[in-house]
Amino acid sequence: MQARQNQANRITLIILAAVVLAVGAAALFLNQENAPVAASREVRVYLDGVLYATGHLGQKEDIVVHNADGEENVISFTENGVYMKSATCHNQLCVNQGLLTDENFRTRFYRNEIICLPNRVTVEMVLTDDEAADIPDV
């Protein structure tokens, strides 16, 4: 009787250990799913609403856009951000929009975009579905 109870206890312990391990593994997996995407976050550059080039935060090379009118926009990157380094547009609003980062996009006027209306260039920092859903409508 005593022996059988000990065995039952041992089986219960093994099942408990298995459950704890499974929960731990699941938690680890979920953690990876939610890992920050900052370093590799994708940036898309559009000209006239058409995808012109793609890049990512932290990249060393600038992206230079030439539109049909001979205008030029230079897009540059930091470790966790992207900005319009220079533009031939007359109002320089795009340059003045400053640095867009994976930290400040929720509070910027143009959210996760840098827009040059005169040259018809849009820079978009790609968000996850969760982040996009998070952003309140303007």
Contact footprint for Zn ion (CB under 5 A): 87, 89, 94, 116
Give the largest Cα separation in the chain, rounded.
Answer: 92
Closest to Zn ion by CB, 10 vs 66, is 66
Closest to Zn ion by CB, 65 vs 87, is 87
Query: At CA 100, angle to CA 95 and CA 105, rounded to 5?
Result: 135
Tokens of 57: 């935060």
Residue 121 CB, shortest distance to Zn ion, in Å, is 7
Closest among 74, 82, 78, 37 to 58, alpha carbons compared: 78
**Contacts for 99 with CB less than 8 Å, ≥ 6 apart:** 78, 81, 82, 83
Closest to Zn ion by CB, 116 vs 127, is 116
Closest to Zn ion by CB, 110 vs 131, is 110
Residue 96 CB, shortest distance to Zn ion, in Å, is 9
Residue 113 CB, shortest distance to Zn ion, in Å, is 13
Residue 27 CB, shortest distance to Zn ion, in Å, is 46
Tokens of 73: 């926009």
